[in-house]
Amino acid sequence: MNSKGICILGATGTIGVNTLDVLARHPQRYHVVALSANSNVEKLVEQCLSVQPAYAVMVEEDAATQLEEKLKEKSCPTKVLSGKQALETIASLPEVDYVMAAIVGAAGLLPNLAAAEAGKRVMLANKESLVMSGKLFMDAIHNNRHKGAELLPIDSEHNAIFQSMPPLVNGDQQKAGVEKILLTASGGPFRTRDVATLNKVTPEQAVAHPNWVMGQKISVDSATMMNKGLEVIEACWLFDVPENKIQVVIHPQSMIHSMVSYNDGSVLAQLGNPDMRTPIAYALGYPERIASGVKALDIFEVARLDFEKPDFERCRCLQLAYDAHRLGGNATIALNAANEIAVEAFLNKKIRFTDIPLVIEKALEQAPAGTSAKINDILAQDLTSREYAKESVARLN
């Protein structure tokens, strides 16, 4: 068996760390070619010493200098690169077969596109690539299939949907009989909290997710349900369905990761303990299954599974995501950009938790109709929406 070369974009984050954990269980099957991080020098030093990649990228130049010095001290042969362009370089290296796309936010878009255009297996843990540029990104995958390009979702929900759909769906959903995608959501930490008190939520409370260990930004998105809204948009592109074919289901236990409903009355679900190593291992091994290190689900221990409909008054961000997808690609760019600015402002205690959807609404109002087809137009709209969002934050201060 030929060992597959792996590039991990966002190696020091939760997904990156879990990916390295799974890879360590299969040293004969995979080897790490490149790792990247934004500014976490200490963690990347530790990872480079452990797996000895050929390349390491730090986006921040000062951090790259520090990394290079520390690796030289340890006689580590890893070559250090810096800057955003270097992310595209390592994502398209000839010796890379699979790219774990785990950079959070819009920063992941260009390297993910580079990986697709270079014919890599893109293991997508970055929602923004599809939220900002769904058509462009999916076209890049389809147009480079002859080079080997393929897309496997890492989000536990989309990975569950992928597992619950037959191969036939890739060619003809009608024949596959798919009626509806049931996208599960934990409901976040404020599922039962009085809506009238949400304006008192602190950043510390918002990042304390009941089921998953995630970064701060994603944890806040889970609390506002924007995370699920972005996943709705992502699912529309991944599985070629309109937003009215996707129903969000609140499932507090987070044991069913998503379901697919069929025209014969069947509903197929993927269950498992809430651990990101399961979808990571599935994407790495596909179409085989490989060990992930995750304990098998004990259904007797779970004992019960609960389901609720989302409350769109409580989950205003979820409604905004549905609205944005209906409006088109420019609106989803604005949605994502404004959300990133609003969440950062909330974490820095500049705005209240309940101000987040207000900032996003204002950005959606300025987004032009339709969908941008060129990467430069997409990036320009992203910048414009961020400026509108910053102005909204300033007004709310």
Phi, psi for 324 (deg, rounded to 5): -65, -40
Q: Which two tokens stand for residue 340?
A: 């990133």
Q: Which two tokens stand for residue 103?
A: 């950079």
Q: Which two tokens stand for residue 317?
A: 């961000």
Dihedral-angle region of residue 103 (phi above 0 means left; psi in -120 to 50 means alpha; beta otherwise): beta
Q: Taking each helix axis as running N to C, give the angle between helix 329-347 and helix 128-143, from 0 to 180 degrees, rounded to the nearest 10.
A: 140
Q: Which two tokens stand for residue 51?
A: 């797996």
Closest CA to 63 of 47, 82, 78, 50: 82
Residue-by-residue pLDDT tens, the chain, 397 positions? 699 999 999 999 999 999 999 999 999 999 999 999 999 999 999 999 999 999 999 999 999 999 999 999 999 999 999 999 999 999 999 999 999 999 987 788 999 999 999 999 999 998 888 999 999 999 999 999 999 999 999 999 999 999 998 765 555 666 688 999 999 999 888 999 999 999 999 999 998 866 666 778 888 999 999 999 999 999 999 998 899 999 999 999 989 999 999 999 999 999 999 999 999 999 999 999 999 999 999 999 999 999 999 999 889 999 999 999 999 999 999 999 999 999 999 999 999 999 999 999 999 999 998 888 889 999 999 999 999 999 999 999 7
Domains of the chain and CATH, by start:
4-153 (3.40.50.720), 155-313 (no CATH), 328-397 (1.10.1740.10)
Q: Provide the 3-class DSSP secondary structure of residue 83.
A: coil
Q: What is the DSSP string of 179-226?
A: EEEEEEE---TTTTS-GGGGGG--HHHHT--SS----HHHHHHHHHTH
CB 124 within 8 A of CB 34: no
